[in-house]
Amino acid sequence: MKNRIIYSLALLFAIAAGASGQQKEVASDINSVTVFYQGAQISRTSAEVTLPAQQTVLVLKGLEQSLQENSLRVGIKGQARILNVVKSMDFLEEKTSSAKIEALQLQLKGNNEEIENFRMKIKVYEQERNLLMTNMNLGGANTGVTVDQIREGATYYRARLLEVERTILETNRLIIKIQEENQRIQSQLRELNYQKNRPTSRVEVTVEPDRAGTCQLFLDYIVPEAGWIASYDLRIDEVDGPVKVVRKAALRQSTGEDWNRVSLSFSTGNPMEQQVMPVLKPWYVDFVQPRQNMLMMQGKLPGVSKSANRQQQPQAQKMDAEMAYAEEAISYDAVAPFESASKNSIQEFTLQTKASISADGKEYAFSLGTEELQASYHYQAIPKKEKAAYLVATLTNWEGYELVDGTANIYYEKMYIGETYLSTSMTLDSMQLSMGRDKGIVIERKVVKDYTKSRTMGSNVRKNFGYELIVRNTKSTQVSLVLEDQIPVSSNSQIVVDDDDLGGGTLDAGSGKVTWRLTVNPGETITVPLRYNIRYPKDQSIGL
């Protein structure tokens, strides 16, 4: 009876195994990768596999540990249908190490074996030293030793002990040297994101062929441990020339598997975004009850009682109104830069050649091509702040080139100038870039002493201020210069500011900024006056 039960169970297991089909392990390689700002889409192709005329489970092992199951898509080429796809973790199958990691491991193993040999050598020499030390008695209890015998024995023991000690010392030094090399190797292995016995993913694909033949599998899925950021090089070889925009991408990946000679693309899309269309809900409007006012009304602010709140409500409401205005301004400034004009269309850049990226988390830079943008140039100076003229390049119609947000290194005449940031949230038609100082334009700001003075007029004091802004062009070409300075803006009705002579400059009354637009010929010097006065009660003092 017992044997019958065992036989029946074995038969049931055999029938179940036959129903599920035989298993075949299939190798696969990464052939293309699309990297997003966060995450990457991996595309794999399996080796061609021969199928019998029955259901078969094709097993793909050694896939990335972080393979996102909900992103997995499997396709098949051949006369067969996919019946089922199952993803699971494999804690027994070790991930194949990269050639670089395997070489380091082999070197580490060889070094450890050499250390063992050296330690064995030291042990032998230490035993010889002990032997020499315990047999230094040259004669027996009743046997005398001549002076020549003592001299000969001492010479032998001294020479041999010295050789033994020197060998032990040198061997210990070699061990220390190898151990230091091992530490560097282990640090490099950590740098390469090496993890021993790292679990992997496996995908089992159940297929049903129409007849015996061959098939090939195609897999797409997302892994999160990769990403890229955009950057640019803006190069200007000469004034009046175009701006060369070099697109660059900095990529990192630590997926656990190297990408060897893959087709590589960079996308501005986000695979993690929800793909379900949003729904509008009712939008209610009501009076705002600022948080600080509520806390004061409830007596929850430190040192404030409810009775005191009743007396301070008007002042609290004024404070709340000011805070609400400030918070609105702050939130607007914080949100605006992230509203990118290019978010409505996903851009993708594909390299023309295949690339190899190690899974070491290091940054790898790629060029995505070069474009030329037309630009106009002028000089700008604010002598009150700095007596220098800066070359400014103005890019027009830049938004037509579908740039994405990123830092930009600026180069002028093959010299690095500095760094700026390109933001697609800019709504201006033009973009200005500072190209650094130009010593060919000399700027000065001098006080006009005869005009700058103070006097009392009745109950008021009048202070006169006079300056001369001097621009000298030592270049051999004509230049356009935007010159800026300022006069004070009164914040009190008892303080009056009048402009006496702005030399044709344009005054912005709100900010007090004065702007001159000058054309300076080669070798020409232009002097621009800036004169203004301030009147205020003589019993008061003003801060400038």
pLDDT score recorded for residue 94: 60
- In contact, 389 and 375? CB cutoff 8 Å: no
* pLDDT tens, the chain, 544 aa long: 444 444 444 444 434 444 456 899 999 999 999 999 999 999 999 999 999 999 999 999 989 989 999 999 999 999 899 999 999 988 776 666 667 778 888 999 999 999 999 999 999 989 888 888 877 665 555 566 677 777 777 788 788 889 989 999 999 999 999 999 999 988 888 766 555 557 889 999 999 998 999 999 999 999 999 999 999 998 988 777 888 889 999 999 988 888 999 999 999 888 766 566 778 888 777 665 544 444 444 444 333 333 334 444 444 443 333 333 333 332 222 222 223 333 446 788 999 999 999 888 889 999 988 888 888 889 999 999 999 999 888 887 776 677 888 888 989 888 888 888 877 665 566 778 888 888 899 999 999 998 888 888 888 899 999 999 999 999 988 999 999 999 999 988 889 999 999 999 999 988 999 999 999 999 999 999 999 999 999 888 887 7
Residue burial 24-56, b: 16+ Cβ < 10 Å; e: rest = eebebebebbbbbbebbbbbbbbeebebeeebb
Count of CB atoms situated within 10 Å of the CB of 439? 9
pLDDT score recorded for residue 362: 86
pLDDT score recorded for residue 262: 95
pLDDT score recorded for residue 120: 93
- In contact, 216 and 78? CB cutoff 8 Å: yes
pLDDT score recorded for residue 328: 32
Tokens of 266: 């960079």
CB-based contacts of 283, cutoff 8 Å, min separation 6 = none
